[in-house]
A = this chain, B = another copy of it.
Amino acid sequence: MKIVLIGAGNVATHLGRKLVEVGEEVVQVFSRSLPKAAALATELGARPVDDLYGVTAKADLYIIAVHDDAIGEVLKKIEDFVLDKLVVHTSGSTPAKVFETVPELNRTGVFYPLQTFTKERQLDFSEVPICIQASQDADLLVLEELASKISSNVYKITDAQRAWLHVSAVFVNNFTNHLFNIGNSCLGKKQLPFEMLMPLIRETVAKLEDGSPKDMQTGPAVRKDIKTIERHLTLLNGRGDLQEIYRVLTKHIKRAHADNWKH
Contact = CB atoms under 8 A, between A and B. Distances in A.
A190 interface: yes
Contacts of A217: 174, 177-178, 181
B197 A169 contact: yes
- Leading 3 A-B pairs by shortest Cβ distance: A174-B219, A180-B213, A168-B183
A232 B167 contact: yes
B180 A201 contact: no
A203 to B, nearest CB: 6
A60 interface: no
Interface residues of A, number: 87
Contacts of A42: none
A17 to B, nearest CB: 16
A178 to B, nearest CB: 5
A142 interface: no
B118 A204 contact: no
A170 interface: yes
Interface string A161-176: 1011111111111111
7 contacts: A116-B218, A155-B196, A169-B197, A171-B246, A172-B197, A173-B219, A179-B179
Nearest to A125: B199
A244 B182 CA distance: 18
A176 B174 contact: no
Contacts of A200: 114-116, 169, 172-173
A76 interface: no
